Amino acid sequence: MKYVILAIVLFVLLDVIIRLIVKKINDVHLRKERERALQTKIEVDFGQEVKTLKRVEVKNPKAKILAVDDEPIILDSFRKILVLDGYSVDTVESGKEAISLLKNHHYDFVFTDLKMPEMDGVEVTKTVKNIRPDIDVIIITGYATVETAVETMKYGAMDYVQKPFSEDELLDLVNKSLIKRTEKIKDKLRPRVQIIRLSEKENSISNEFLIPGGVFISEGHTWMSIDQGGTVLVGLDDFARKVIGQIDSIDFPNLGMHVQRGKTLFSIIQDNRAIPFKSPISGTVSKINNALAQDKDKFSVTPYEKNWICKIETDDIDTDIGKLKIGKSAVLFYQDEIKRCKKYIKNDTHKEDKDLINYYYQLDKSLLQKLELDNWQKFVDEFFIR
C-alpha cells in the first residue's frame, strides 16, 4: 500500500514539475515573440493626420493602449515596457493625432502627456471622454504639474503617472488600472431584471432574472401568486433558482401542515445540504406539486407557473401581501440583491472561491454550487435564511 501512495505522490510531483517547465517554456517563447514585435514595430501611414504613429501589436493583448507625448523617448519607454508585459501599444506625438486615431480605432486606455503644444493633456482628456466615454484616460505628468493632473480627474481621467517613471511603477499602475476597468465593465454588464408575461420557451433561453407580472416576491426568495380560483400558489423564485444551480431534490412540506409567515416551508437539497425557504404567507398546506416532485428538472425551464411547490389556504392574505414585493418594488429588490451578491462575493469569500468565480460571476451560472462549504453556508444564511 505504501508503494502505491509513494507512486501517486511521485506522479503528482512529476505532473507539477512538467506543468512548471511547460509554463516556463511558453513564457520564454511569448517574451521572444513580443521582443520581435518591438524590433519590427509598424510605422503605419494614415496620411498627414497621424504621421508619427508607431504601432506594436501582440497576440491576445491584455489591453490596447494609445500613448501620446511630444517626447519620443517617453513613447519608446512605453512601447518597450508595456509590449513585453503583453499590451498592444500605439504611440503618437500630438493630441490631434491621438484624437484622429480614436475616431476609427478601439483602445482600452489613452495615456496622454499633460504639457504638449497645440493640444494639451487636459484638452485630450475632455475630447476623449466626449467622443469615447468608454475609454479610460491616464495622465503622464512631471512633478511640477501633479496638481493639474489631479485636476483633470474631474474631466474623467482615471489616474496619473509621474515622469520619470520606472518600469515597475508603470506596470503597477497599468495593471491596477486594468483591474479597475475590468471590474467597472463587469458591474455595468450586471444581469438585467425584467417583468414579463412568462412563457416556458422565453425563460429557457433567457440569462436574465425574470419576474412574471402579478407574482409577489418575498425577501427570502419565494414567490406567491393567486390563481383564478383564488388558490394561493407558492414556489422558488428565479433569483434563487439561478444562483443555486444544481438541485438534487426538494423536501416538500407535509399536507395539512400549518405554517406561519417567515417559518420554513420547504427545502432545496444540493450535495446533501439543505437550503431552507421560508413561507411568504401564513396558512395551511392544501396540496403538493407531485409533478414537480417526479421531475425536478422542470425548474431548468422556469420556477414559476406550473412549477409551484405547494398550495396554501391562507390565514390573513391581506396582511401578508402587504409585506411582499410586486412589480417595480420586486425589480428594485432583485437589483439590490444582485449588488449585495457581488459585494458579498468580493468581500467575504475565500481567495480560492474568488478565483473560481472571478468574484463577479454571472449570477445565472450556478454560483452557489461553486462555493466551498463554509462560504456556501454563509451565502445561504445571508440570502435565504433571513
Contact call for residues 195 and 212 (beta carbons, < 8 A): yes
What separation in angstroms does the CA of 79 have from each of 25, 84, 137? 24, 8, 17
Confidence of residue 370 (pLDDT cuts 50, 70, 90): confident
Tell me which amino acid residue 85 is: D
User: What pTM, to 2 d.p., does this model score?
Assistant: 0.55
Mean pLDDT of the chain: 83
Q: Is the pLDDT of residue 56 over 50?
A: yes
Sign of CA dihedral 136, 141, 146, 151: negative
Confidence of residue 245 (pLDDT cuts 50, 70, 90): confident
Helix, strand, coil % in the chain, rounded to nearest 5 = 45, 20, 30
User: Which CATH number is associated with domain 193-331?
Assistant: 2.40.50.100
Percent of the chain whose pLDDT exceeds 70: 78
Give the DSSP letter string of 75-133: HHHHHHHHHHTT-EEEEESSHHHHHHHHTT---SEEEEESS-SSS-HHHHHHHHHHH-T
Contact call for residues 81 and 132 (beta carbons, < 8 A): no
Which pLDDT does position 355 carry in this prediction? 44
**Residue ranges covered by each domain of the chain:** 34-188, 193-331
Which pLDDT does position 200 carry in this prediction? 44
Helix (H, G, I), strand (E, B) or coil at 297: helix
pLDDT digits (tens, 9 = 90+) for 83-104: 999 999 999 999 999 999 998 8
What CATH class does 34-188 carry?
Answer: alpha beta
Which pLDDT does position 202 carry in this prediction? 47
